[in-house]
Amino acid sequence: MKYLSIFFLLSFVIFVAPVEAQIEKLDPEMAKQKKAEDGLAWHDVTEWGVEGRILPDQERKRWFDRFPGSADGTVTGAVWNLSRHSAGMMVRFKTDATAIHVHYKLLSSNLAMPHMPATGVSGVDLYARDADGQWRWVQVARPTSQEIKTQLIRGLSPGFREYAAYLPLYNGVEFLSIGVPADCKFESLKPRQKPIVFYGTSITHGACASRPGMVHTAILGRRFDMPVVNLGFSGNGKMDAEVGDYLTQLDAAVYVIDCLPNMNAQMVKERCVPLVKQIRAKKPDTPIILVEDRRNTNSWILPDRDAHHTANHAALKEAFNTLQSESVSNLYYISGDKLYGTDSDGATDGSHASDLGFYRQADIFEPVLRKAMGL
């Protein structure tokens, strides 16, 4: 019996293994589809790419970092660390599967924040196109551990359709695969070009959306059916020239500069005009939109805070007027007074948007973006 077992083992090594190796050489795509023991075909999203990951041809320290490795030591340490979050990243694919699974590992074991749920901080958020071609929400992962391997949704209506999965907002991703039954069709969709590029603060970063698809940047991406780059850095969106160096390397449809919540009036006076001129020197025709900071939803009863917003707005308006007087063209402006609405219900903590606040921001941004892009 002992010798018989050895015979079978040798037979596998001699005959079966070379056959499998030959199959991989003849059909690399088959080799890429790692089939789990549960009969799923797992598709590694790094094999076709995600939107929102800038300068993909430049070397990275981690595949899912928003910035290339050259930013480490160039931008501030805080911006670099925050750039390792996957905020704004989104992967698209088509399948006829009636059940969709995800397998991903997070950079941090901190899955949630006191004012933001794990679904927003660390979830993968799935959308699909309906019969009219409109993006509609499907389901979101509810992470309870640093590594998640789960059935995201089942019982989907039959049909071969397009899906979009938004990656976590306030966490990084080590790996991500989409799983569907092995006998289902699956088509990867490469990232689209010419994105709307947002540079901003924790609000742009995504605080405090309930799901990654509910940030105003993502909402606007769906409304325009365009790719989006989210360069929001919590507490550190300060119109830095070093970030500007990366903005100017992008082939953007439009730049949205929304940094005032992390700045005061003096910083705005010192940095806004130079940042716009820095971008304009490399991108003479690309539209640039300057955005005032939202008013905290309780600033109506906090005079000092309200005065801070008023001073910021005045400084940005002065910078905008200066740029126009110097014939810097294709500039647009968004007022901040009503970004969250006027009823004080648009934020979680006065400062950071709720889903309602993000939706209201999207409504205000949309017509300005439409005009800037000539749509």
**198 close to 258: Cβ distance less than 8 angstroms:** yes
Q: Which two tokens stand for residue 149?
A: 């391997």
Residues of the chain with CATH 2.60.120.260: 43-189
| Cis amide linkage into residue 272, ω under 30° from 0 | no
- The reported pLDDT for the residue numbered 32 is 42
Given a cut of 90, whether residue 129 has pLDDT beyond it is: yes
Domain(s) of CATH 3.40.50.1110: residues in the chain: 196-372
> 196-372: what fold?
Rossmann fold (3.40.50)
What pLDDT does residue 186 have? 98
Torsion sign over Cα 272, 310, 320, 269: negative
- Structure tokens that stand for 239 in this block: 């119109």
Least confident of 14-23, 139-148, 341-350: 14-23
DSSP 295-318: PPTTGGG-HHHHHHHHHHHHHHHH
Counting residues of the chain whose pLDDT is more than 90, the rounded percentage is: 90
| Beta bridge mates, 11 | none
CA 122 to chain CA centroid, Å, is 12
Side-chain half-sphere of 8: how many Cα atoms within 13 Å? 4
Residue 13 has pLDDT above 60, yes or no: no
pLDDT number for residue 38: 78
The dihedral region occupied by 143, where left means phi > 0, alpha psi between -120 and 50, and beta the remainder, is beta
Residues whose CB is less than 8 angstroms from the CB of residue 151 and which lie 6 or more positions away in sequence, other chains included: 99, 100, 101
pLDDT above 60: residue 131: yes
What is the pLDDT confidence band of residue 1, given thresholds at 50, 70 and 90? very low
Give dist(CA 30, CA 210) in Å, integer. Answer: 37
Q: Cα–Cα distance between 181 and 330 in angstroms, integer?
A: 49
Amino acid 26: pLDDT:
46
CATH superfamily of 43-189: Galactose-binding domain-like (2.60.120.260)
CA–CA gap between residue 32 and residue 27 (Å, rounded): 9
Give pLDDT tens digits for 214-241. 999 999 999 999 999 999 999 999 999 9
151, pLDDT greater than 50: yes
Q: Is the pLDDT of residue 3 over 80?
A: no
20: pLDDT strictly greater than 90 = no
Q: How many CB atoms lie within 10 A of CB 189?
A: 15
Q: Which of 11-15, 196-200, 311-315, 369-373 has the lowest mean pLDDT?
A: 11-15
Task: Tell me the mean pLDDT in the region 65-88.
Answer: 98
Average pLDDT over residues 255-267: 98
Do 127 and 213 form a contact (C-beta atoms < 8 A)?
yes
96: helix, strand or coil: coil
Close Cβ partners of 1 (under 8 Å, ≥ 6 residues apart)? none
Percent of the chain past pLDDT 70, that is, above it, reads 90
**pLDDT tier at 37 (50, 70, 90 boundaries)?**
low
